Structure 1
Amino acid sequence: MYFRALRLAGLCAAASLLTACSMGGLMGGGGSSSAQTLQNATPNPASVAQAQTSALPVIATECPPIKVRPGSEAMFYYGGGQVGSAKSLQYQGVIDETSRNCVVSNGLITVNMGVVGRVLLGPAGSQSSVNAPLRFAVERDGQAVFSEKYTIPVAINPPAQSAEFVKVVENVAIPYLGGEEITIWVGFDTRG
């Protein structure tokens, strides 16, 4: 409690010192009209065009959404052909989080995308290692422009009954003019 009061007193003293300072020299002078000029400035088309051509690649303002493909949110593996039997479940995989970021440059949108998931042992499970089959895909105006299946090894160390996995796919380049509908898909792909 004493330290909190001391810290509060220090912050109040610093604030009062700062309010007593004059910012005139830092902000271009007290009564200068340059601040007014900048405040009321409107860019002309030529200055906007010049700024756009000399700008560095920028992060896309509308990075495509990343979605888990319906029906591929989880994977289940059963033993002895007992599909759907809770007692026969050896393991299941789930996707916990998805993420992506994008950079637009030279008519391309470059996407980095990733997932975090878990593999959990079921009542019949005793695996120490499981391969999680994940598929990342990108659709542009309804057409697949990228699709890749990855096998992620997941080690489950006893006595743990679950383990987390992370997969990141980097630098997927997609032609981008602006206005296209782009969707990033991810999900388990258990097909052979």
Structure 2
Amino acid sequence: MSVNVSRGVLVVSLMMVLGGCNAGSMGSGLGLSPTEPAAQPATQTAAAVQPFVQGFCPQISLRDGTSVYRTYAKSKSQDAKDVVFQASLADTTRACSRTDTTLTITALLQGRLTSGPQGKAGSINLPIRVTVMDGDQEVTSEIEQYAVNLADVNQPTQFVYTKQVTVPGNVSGMTRVYVGFDEGKKKK
């Protein structure tokens, strides 16, 4: 019988605790009245407790004609049998953080690298350009030789490219981030 009484007391106690969590207004369990705000620690300022909404984070777009990059064994060849490797970009995403004066954009790109008939296993540098445009104005443009390791010519490999770009915090809502492969100027 004492086991049943103990279980009953435990269940009733649990129900009272859970009921107390949902009863009354916010702060009533702390002994505060509904109109009395919780006291702030002396070290916090009013600005530190204000809610912050992230707001604008520019979209990322692949520029037309820059999502695929091929190299050929022969410099002027465009023949499929001369392809050394082909890389392509598929998906993008971004994250942003803001300070009083800057906006930092972290761009992530998913890509795939495939060997061609002339390909060999090893590290391959892919020229990836990240450009931030505010309307018609170029804010920044950077190119990076991103190394991707192709372990086996018979197996394509996927890669994720991450680039952090910091721009002035006063960019407009027309700001866009463009990414893609940069082949440089074509020689004639």
TM-score, normalised with respect to structure 1: 0.67
Question: Aligned partners of 1:163, 1:89: CA distance in 2, in Å?
Answer: 16
Answer whether contact 2:98 2:169 (CA < 8 A) is retained: no
1:146 equivalent in structure 2: 140
- 2:113 maps to which of 111, 119, 125: 119
Cα deviation for residue 55 of structure 1 reads 4.5
Question: Aligned partners of 1:125, 1:147: CA distance in 2, in Å?
Answer: 30
Q: Which amino acid aligns with 1:180?
A: G
Question: Aligned partners of 1:152, 1:174: CA distance in 2, in Å?
Answer: 26
The 5 Å alignment of 1:15-164 reads 21=15, 23-29=18-24, 53-55=47-49, 58=52, 60-80=54-74, 81-83=76-78, 85-158=79-152, 160-164=154-158
1:184 equivalent in structure 2: 177
Q: Which runs of 5+ in 1 are unaligned?
A: 1-16, 39-49
Paired residue total: 157
Question: Aligned partners of 1:183, 1:76: CA distance in 2, in Å?
Answer: 26
> Which range moves more in the overlay, 152-161 or 109-118?
152-161
Cα distance change on mapping 1:57 and 1:150 into 2, 3 Å: farther
Deviations, residues 130-164 of structure 1 (Å, cap 9, x unaligned): 21000011111221111100001222123544233
2:160 equivalent in structure 1: 166
What's the Cα RMSD here?
A: 3.2
Q: Which runs of 5+ in 2 are unaligned?
A: 1-10, 35-44
- Which structure has the greater CA radius of gyration? 2
* Identical positions, percent: 26
TM-score, normalised with respect to structure 2: 0.68
Question: Aligned partners of 1:77, 1:95: CA distance in 2, in Å?
Answer: 15
Question: Aligned partners of 1:113, 1:57: CA distance in 2, in Å?
Answer: 26
Deviations, residues 6-40 of structure 1 (Å, cap 9, x unaligned): xxxxxxxxxxx7xx93554223449xxx8xx97xx
Deviations, residues 108-141 of structure 1 (Å, cap 9, x unaligned): 3221112121221112323523210000111112
2:40 equivalent in structure 1: none
> Which range moves more in the overlay, 141-150 or 107-116?
107-116
